[in-house]
Structure 1
Amino acid sequence: MKLNFSGLRSLVTGAGKGIGRDTVKALHASGAKVVAVTRTNTDLVSLAKECPGIEPVCVDLGDWEATEKALGDIGPVDLLVNNAAVVLKQPFLNITKEAFDRSFNVNLRSVFQVSQIVARDMINRGMAGSIVNVSSIAAHVTYPGLTTYCSTKGAMTMLTKAMAMELGPHKIRVNSVNPTVVLTDMGKKISADPDIGRKLKERHPLRKFAEVEDVVNSILFLLSDSSASTSGSGILVDAGYLAS
């Protein structure tokens, strides 16, 4: 998808790997100034070499105080992609407080915090904007051992709608993308077992998983004026999974 984001400043969380990294690269190639946020500095160093001129920010978004310090004065942002997430696999009966807190702090609480910082500045400047929350089909279906992850993504669905309702009068749109298994390094690990991979793929009418590019294209569409009348919605990038 070829879109022009020249003159706009964007912020992408979870920018070091996978969907976040490719989103940074796509926005950079489309002319946007990009603030790339992740907790792994080596990922930022390599990303900065690929995308000269990006603004790297190394912070653990699960830490409220550190996030406020790192992003509280980040300045004008027109486009926000909340992509940071952790997947901590534990059976429901064995979920620990640490895993629960970590999952909700990174996957959901950071979306609140970063979006508040960005949206307040948009409103103060009187500028329209677009926010995209990267969710999952796990917001709609459950998987064994992923209770906390599914819960955070289910909550993100309602958060996206609530943000869209309250921020809409300020001309700020909020949407989500909900992909199935995506062939990032993490996704490839999930599908590495031939039997599990085959069974999972057979659940998808298109008999395929999602490519990173598929998700990035949906993110770019929702960020752009091409989706000017879309807010409070979620795009399923699931190869038909929820239709089966």
Structure 2
Amino acid sequence: MQFSGKSVIITGAGKGIGRACAKVMAERGARVVALSRTQSDLDSLEAETGARGIRVDLADVAATRAAMAGAGTCDFLINSAGINVLESVTDMTEAGYEAVLGINLRAALITCQEFARARIAAGGGGAIVNITSIAGHRGFQDHLCYAASKAGLEGASRVMAKELGPHGIRVNCVAPTITLTELAAEAWSDPQKSQPMMVRHPLNRFAEADEVATAIALLLSPGSAMISGAVLPVDGGFLSV
């Protein structure tokens, strides 16, 4: 999984899985264009990996298109940006819906669209990995809009795989389980909360961000040249049992 001479756009690259992806891809020789809304995260990522940062709020459609234009024509796209607003079915708000669907689904569709247009204009080829979630496959309390956004992105990715395949562009998804980013580790540090979820994992642990990033790199590599339209769970067997 070496990517010398290749380039990748990564949304949500400032923190969590996106940041792990930036590190993994840079370590393997790729030129990284990092999109994040926090300038300090972009600055520290540039110092660590040499990534070129573009500050953007992906909730802003026009700014998202401008950021993708500024990123230029790259070989790969990783959509890692995502948020959650914990609301139940009966408590869902319009603001929560707009925030979650706007970032998790609409922004991802726009970045994929702009990436595909640039790749087709350049003669085709390339690959996209959209990060979804096991929450799109199982019902979790207070994850109504989050689940809708992630399941929707998987459905859209299958359409992309069909329509972009003739141009040599592959599109896949990675669906992680709970991943121990800094924020998630804090949220799941209480054994009373984490243990009931942990026991549903045959490997009896949650994922690390670099494990998700390595799986994404695998799907971008030439060794996955015949994989498109797939959803790869990175879940320690959660969805299998």
Give the TM-score normalised by structure 1: 0.96
1:19 pairs, out of 14, 17, 31, with: 17
Q: Which runs of 5+ in 1 are unaligned?
A: none
Question: SS of the counterpart of 1:94?
Answer: coil
| Structure 1 SS opposite 2:100 | helix
- AA in 1 matched with 2:33: V
Question: Which residue of 29, 45, 48 corresponds with 2:46?
Answer: 48
Q: Contact 2:9–2:71 at 8 Å: present in 1 too?
A: no
Runs of 5+ unmatched residues, structure 2:
none
User: Match for 1:69: what amino acid?
Assistant: A
After superposing on structure 2, the runs of 4+ consecutive aligned residues of structure 1 that deviate more than 6 Å are none
Q: Post-superposition shift, 1:27? A: 0.9
Contact 2:68 2:115 in 1 (8 A): no
Counting only pairs closer than 5 Å after superposition, residues 88-103 of structure 1 correspond to structure 2 as 88-103=85-100
State the Cα distance separating 1:78 from its structure 2 match.
0.5
Which deviates more, 210-219 or 77-86? 210-219
TM superposition shift of 1:139: 1.1
**Shift in Å at residue 212 of structure 1?**
1.3
1:148 paired residue number: 145
* Aligned counterpart, 2:60: 63
**Aligned twin of 1:177:** 174
Letter paired with 2:159: A
* Residue 125 of structure 2: aligned partner: 128
CA RMSD of the aligned region, Å?
Answer: 1.0
Counterpart of 2:12 in structure 1: which amino acid? Answer: G
Percentage of matched positions with identical amino acids: 39
CA gap 1:37/1:73 in 2 versus in 1, 3 angstroms: closer
Counterpart of 1:163 in structure 2 is 160
Aligned-partner residue type, residue 131 of structure 1: I
Separation in structure 1 between the aligned mates of residue 120 and residue 155 of structure 2, nearest angstrom: 22
Counterpart Cα distance in 2 of 1:7 and 1:206: 36
1:117 counterpart = 2:114: yes
**Per-residue deviation, residues 66-121 of structure 1 (Å, max 9, x unmatched):** 11222234321101001100011112211111110111110000111111111111
The partner residue of 2:219 within 214, 219, 222 is 222
- Partner AA of 1:194 in structure 2: P
Quote the residue 1:211 is aligned against.
208
After TM superposition, the structure 1 stretch with the greater mean CA deviation from structure 2, 9-18 or 183-192, is 183-192
SS of 2:71 mapped into structure 1: coil
Distance 1:70 1:215 in 2: 25
| Whole-Å separation in 1 of the counterparts to 2:89 and 2:190 | 23
Aligned AA (2:76): L
Separation of aligned partners in 1, 2:200 and 2:70 = 45
In structure 2, distance between residues paired with 1:97 and 1:148: 10
Give the aligned partner of residue 72 of structure 1. Answer: 69
In structure 2, which of residues 75, 79, 83 is the aligned counterpart of residue 82 of structure 1? 79
In the alignment, the residues of structure 2 paired with residue 83 and residue 8 of structure 1 have an alpha-carbon distance, to the nearest angstrom, of: 19
What is the number of equivalent residue pairs in this alignment?
241
